[in-house]
Amino acid sequence: MRNNSMRILMVILAMSLSTWASATRQIVVSSPDGKTKVELSSDNGLGYSVYKNGKHIYDVSNLSLSVDGRKCGPAVKISGAKRSKGSETVRPVVPLKHSTIEYQYNEVTVGLKNKTSLQLRVMNDGVAHRFLLAGKGMVEIDNETMTLNPAGNSTCHYQQTNNFNTAYEEFYQHKPLSEWKAENKLATLPALLSGEDDEQLLIGESDVDDYPRMFLRANTSGLNAEFPKAPARWEPHGDRGEKIVSEENFIARTAGRRALPWRWTVLTDAKGLVEQTMSVILARRPVLNDVSWVKPGQVSWEWWSGATPYGPDVDFKAGNNYATYKYFIDFAANYGIEYILLDEGWAKSTRDPFTEKPELQLKKLIEYGKSKGVGVFLWLPWLTVENHMDVFKTYASWGVAGVKIDFMDHSDQWMVNFYKRVTREAAKHKLLIDFHGAFTPAGLEYEYPNLLSYEGVRGMEYMGECRPENSLYYPFMRNAVGGMDYTPGAMNSYQPDLYRADRPNSGSIGTRAYQMALYVVFESGVQMLADNPTLYYQNDECTKYIVSVPTTWDETRCLAAEVGKYVIVAKRKGNKWYVGGICNGEQERTFQLDLGFLDAGKTYRMKAFKDGLNAGYQAMDYRIDEISVTSGSSVDVEMSKNGGWAAVIE
């Protein structure tokens, strides 16, 4: 482990070395608080069983790694065990939940055969394992296997895909294992198993480097890990990608001495899913010596509204031209928005990242943005970036702030390495990155914090297909593993049976208060304002609230939650608290919030945006309450179906 300025590391070593002569000896590791116990064994192949508060939660079996045709399991004898324990304080450069994260763990590393070992870490809220390699030179990893079997009945929540080529934008499915198995389809990570009495088991991975992403497929009683093979040959596929036409026999060719990715689970309840930081604490620490230039923020985005501001102050023909984007910059400057984004259409050709449409006057536009304190992001398809890796040096010389890279759509080792090559090269030139059409976060964003967000979600660009009934799972699943480029901010709001919207008059399903609450509930290092500046000017009081919401946070507390149905979260930045609540369309919701998280002995002013009496039909109906509150106050929160509630307390 490395010490650096971004991480206070205290490793308390209490190591003992023991050797087991047979494969029948069991190794037990408990969490620091004693509530979680893990029994590691090789009696019936390498695996472990997990218990929490004495209750059997799940088993992991069939743990095996095949390297250069040689397996370290399943018929493996544990040759030794090295125990350790530690505590760490992690301070993320871009903190999406907590600016300071403290955690403890107990750990055991056991020797296997073929210069391989297994590292098992047990924390208070979760369990993680990974394989360690101690070979030489380069090796080919033929496969890695793992089967997770929940002990009780569970409802599986997962993003289903027909194959490994996916942009991670599918609707979530919600089914028992038996129904998932019958479909014989893959699922992306993270996946969630919900049991009785609000028992939640979130499955994910972290520190994925030079290795493919993991997928899941249901079997008779559990979930099998599956991985895409490394691509062997590609063919051109349009202007923004290539098609894999043949594959290697291995999933990765990589260094023979290294740690493979962490496979982790979080054992908690619905509130705990929103607050946990497992993906952060298992990720690599920042490698950049200077991160002062890494500036998260909000972005005025033009694609969703068709880049067509209108009204008496618009005395130009809107489109991909200088006057339009100057207007976006002026809007951003007026409200203190850090960036604007020029999406597809700014360049003469999607294959040429250096030549803009002449009417755009890009370099002049960038300089104008600088004069107003507004940076400029440019959109590019990934294949164009791959063919022009010198683009980052050029963009830095132009003064570009960042790049949105799109349409990766697959998750093999080559593509995982592409993400890192791009992010590392961008960091050399102090450029920010937002990956769209992307897989979900798995640790790179903490190693290189200039990577501010990923898509990997069915976001608001899907218009009427982006529905609260699906989006209510994001705080518990997608945002549970990292930043999410959902692109909120609609000013035209609809209930689902009344939805009638399209570009340039775009709209979203959910109430106005729901949209405003998304800025508190959803997390992203680059948080978009997706709608038209004209509508934001017309809804000034809502816009002022939205732009006041930070993109990074010091503290997160979940106040109320039921997976997929509702969530209310309070987040602190400095001495201000923001509260956001959203719910699905099943019914109206009423809550009484205890404000005990506020400092005692102080009086605060709370301004809250809430659903109006008619928001269940006219979704743009909202009201504002302004009251004084203290830590002893309780506040009534009423949300319409597909509704929301958003407040600032200061």
CA distance 521 to 475: 7
Cα separation, 298 vs 335, whole angstroms: 10
d(CA 274, CA 568) in angstroms, rounded, equals 10
Read off the DSSP letter of residue 285: P
Residue (of 154, 272, 95, 128) closest to 207 by Cα position = 128
Element at 625 (helix H, strand E): strand 622-629
Is beta strand 589-594 parallel, antiparallel or unpaired with respect to 634-639?
Answer: antiparallel
Dist. CA 350–CA 346, nearest whole Å: 9
CA separation for the pair 224, 146 (Å, rounded): 6
Within a 10 A sphere around the Cβ of 359, how many other Cβ atoms? 12
Strands (E), 165-207: 172-176, 186-187, 191-194, 200-206
Cβ neighbours, 10 Å, residue 461 = 21
Residue in 199, 406, 409, 445 annotated catalytic: 406
Is 562 an annotated catalytic residue? no
Given a contact cutoff of 8 angstroms between Cβ atoms, the answer to whether 300 and 533 are in contact is yes
* DSSP 8-state assignment for residue 261: P
Structure tokens at 464: 């009427």
C-alpha closest to that of 300 among 331, 345, 257: 331
> For this structure, is 625 an active site residue?
no
Nearest partner of 451 among 412, 485, 475, 491, judged by Cα: 485
From CA 425, how far away is CA 429, in angstroms rounded? 7
- Residue 179, classed as helix, strand or coil, is helix
3-state secondary structure of 581: strand
Distance CA 573, CA 586 (A): 32
Q: Which of 348, 142, 359, 371 is closest to 251 using CA atoms?
A: 142
Q: Which two tokens stand for residue 141?
A: 């990893």
Provide the terminal-to-terminal Cα distance of the chain, rounded to the nearest Å: 40
Going by their DSSP bridges, the two strands 116-123 and 47-52 should be labelled as unpaired
Q: 461, 523, 531, 611: which is the annotated catalytic residue?
A: 461
Q: Helices 540-548 and 322-335 sit at what angle, rounded to 10 degrees?
A: 70
CB atoms inside a 10 Å sphere around CB 357: 16
In 3D space, the residue among 595, 600, 606 whose CA is nearest the CA of residue 648 turns out to be: 606
Length of the chain: 650
Q: Is the peptide bond before 261 cis (omega within 30 degrees of 0)?
A: no
Beta strands in 303-455 (DSSP E): 339-342, 347-349, 352-356, 375-381, 402-406, 432-435, 451-454
Given a contact cutoff of 8 angstroms between Cβ atoms, the answer to whether 468 and 517 are in contact is: no
Q: Are strands 81-90 and 231-236 parallel, antiparallel or unpaired?
A: unpaired
Q: Which residues contact 497 (CB under 8 A, 6 or more apart)?
A: none
- Would you name the residues annotated as active-site residues? 406, 461
